[in-house]
Structure 1
Amino acid sequence: MRQLALGFGLVAVVLFGAGVTLRSAARSAGDRPFTVLVTGLAALAITAAGMRWWRGRGARYPAGAWMPDAAAEVDEVGEAPAVAVTGVAYEEMDAQEFEQAVAELCRRDGCLDVEVVGGAGDLGADVLATAPGGQRLVIQCKRYGASHKVGSQDLQRFGGTCFAVHDAHIAAVVTTSDFTEPAADYAARCGIRCFDGGELTAWATGVGPAPWEG
């Protein structure tokens, strides 16, 4: 809504400026109608360019979608930098929605062959993908509340299948919550990467590494 209001405000300012320019030109031009015509055409061109720019933003970021800060859209060499995914409340999703959201983060950051396989008979894997470096990535997603930590039994079940069954090069558990100390210890011994709620937010907003990095 704030971005929409800014867009209408921009159009209004451009139109107002064009009107002022035309009136000033009409007063000062006197018997020089050609000057008025050229000034009017220039004002109309500026107005059209502003409206095209705003329509382009609307196409990139449809109503209801998150939008990056305007200052972060294009860097100084004209390339679009990595943008932060904001306004996503992972803890309010159900388990299936959370798996899809994690899969989308993988796609966003360059993974290939991303597949959501969570559900009955998933044998501990929720998201399968090929990491940007070519490694086979296996992720288990745990959409838990803040008071429900991922326990050692969760890690043991995943640890029994992620490498032997799913042939993972990189195995990770991503949660909206946290890990118990025994769970974190088990993961460290088995080479399973643990991403808690804070690390998930850092990954999603582009200020922290992805599960296959580091």
Structure 2
Amino acid sequence: MTWQAFVRHVADLLRRDGCTDVVVRQARSDRGIDITARTADGRSVAVQCKNRAGRASVPSADMQKFAGAARAVDRVDIALFVATCTFSREAQAIADLSGVITVNRDELEAWSAGVRLKTLR
């Protein structure tokens, strides 16, 4: 699946789980945020999507950029980083420190199969 199709897939999962105002941002002006949305109870959501093949993992630099954009620039309630791979140890540490929710390949497969994300409830 292309990265554009992957972003649309994640947007569809957000809608399926009750999010509204789901917007896929333009790639050149997204400020590190691919999708914005609102949960059913009104919380703001920012999503970064990384479609990586093979044994690649999300590096800390990608997590730093997203955490900064979601927390400092847009100040969202829920920062969600969805990847088709794993997260490096340092990227996961940054996510934990900054309150970013990570969704790795295994969690994405379960979400795609119908399991709702706890953070969106």
1:173-188 superposed matches below 5 A: 173-188=81-96
Write out per-residue CA displacement over residues 14-46 of structure 1, whole angstroms, 9 at most, x where no aligned residue. xxxxxxxxxxxxxxxxxxxxxxxxxxxxxxxxx
- Aligned residue pairs, count: 121
Equivalent in 107, 117, 127 of residue 35 of structure 2 = 127
Which structure has the higher relative contact order (CA within 8 Å, separation 6+)?
2
1:51-200 superposed matches below 5 A: 93-200=1-108
Q: Does 1:205 align with 2:113?
A: yes
**What amino acid maps onto 1:105 in structure 2?**
L
TM-score of the pair, normalised by structure 2? 0.94
Q: Is the 2:39–2:120 contact (alpha carbons within 8 Å) kept by the matching residues of 1? A: no
Secondary structure at 1:124 match in 2: coil
TM-score of the pair, normalised by structure 1? 0.54
Partners of 1:190 and 1:133 in 2: CA distance? 22
Q: Is the 1:195–1:211 contact (alpha carbons within 8 Å) kept by the matching residues of 2? A: no
Structure 1 or 2: more strand by fraction: 2
Partners of 1:163 and 1:187 in 2: CA distance? 11
Partners of 2:81 and 2:118 in 1: CA distance? 9
Partners of 1:133 and 1:199 in 2: CA distance? 23
Q: Is the 1:98–1:143 contact (alpha carbons within 8 Å) kept by the matching residues of 2? A: yes
Q: CA deviation at 1:110?
A: 0.7
Percent of pairs with identical residues: 36
Structure 1 or 2: more helix by fraction: 1
Q: Is the 1:99–1:118 contact (alpha carbons within 8 Å) kept by the matching residues of 2? A: no
Q: Which has the larger radius of gyration?
A: 1
Question: Deviating runs (4+, > 4 A) in structure 1?
Answer: none
**What amino acid maps onto 2:19 in structure 1?**
C
Q: Structure 1: give runs of 5+ residues left out of the alignment.
A: 1-92
Partners of 2:40 and 2:110 in 1: CA distance? 19
Write out per-residue CA displacement over residues 93-135 of structure 1, whole angstroms, 9 at most, x where no aligned residue. 1111111110001111110000000401210100100012210
